[in-house]
């Protein structure tokens, strides 16, 4: 019984330590500078509306990219999202992103939601 309690305490300690080592979540909104299947480069806007230095985000198998797709249902606009690939995004397209800083591996895209491209 005592070893079971010690094992549970060790497991809880390890889980807490792992949670503390989790990379920070960051957000940005601005416009797409360039996009391909491996990288999404975003030019974020500061609170004053000015563009900041571009951020290159690594696209992984778990990265999620969607495009806002408003629909009219029963006379009301319903905001929906349609799945997309990072490479589908066009330069200048408005986008909001959630990403994590993975240290030496760079920033990793978690989720991106883009406005529809002007020409679509």
Q: Which CATH number do you get for residue 51?
A: 2.40.50.320
List of the chain residues with pLDDT < 70 = 1-20, 119-120
Quote the pLDDT of residue 6. 47
Q: Is residue 65 part of a domain?
A: yes
Q: Is residue 16 part of a domain?
A: no
**Tokens (6 digits) for 59:** 């696209």
Is 0.75 surpassed by the pTM of this model? yes
For residue 108, the enclosing domain spans 24-114
Q: Is residue 104 part of a domain?
A: yes
CA distance 106 to 115: 25
Q: Is residue 61 part of a domain?
A: yes
Quote the pLDDT of residue 118. 80
Q: Is residue 58 part of a domain?
A: yes
Kindly report the CA angle at 42 between 39 and 62, in degrees rounded to 5?
Answer: 45
Quote the pLDDT of residue 102. 86
Structurally, the chain folds into a number of domains equal to 1
Q: Is residue 10 part of a domain?
A: no
**51 near 45, Cβ under 8 Å?**
yes
Quote the pLDDT of residue 20. 62
Q: Is residue 6 part of a domain?
A: no
């Amino acid at each position: 019984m005592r070893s079971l309690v010690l094992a549970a305490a060790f497991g809880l300690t390890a889980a807490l330590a792992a949670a503390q080592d989790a990379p920070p979540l960051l957000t940005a909104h601005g416009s797409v500078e360039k996009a391909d299947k491996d990288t999404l480069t975003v030019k974020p806007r500061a609170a004053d509306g000015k563009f900041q230095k571009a951020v290159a985000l690594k696209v992984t198998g778990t990265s999620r990219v969607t495009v806002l797709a408003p629909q009219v249902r029963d006379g009301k606009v319903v905001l929906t999202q349609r799945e997309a690939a990072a490479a589908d995004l066009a330069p200048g397209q408005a986008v909001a992103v959630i990403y994590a800083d993975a240290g030496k591996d760079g920033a990793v895209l978690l989720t991106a939601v883009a406005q529809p491209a002007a020409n679509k």
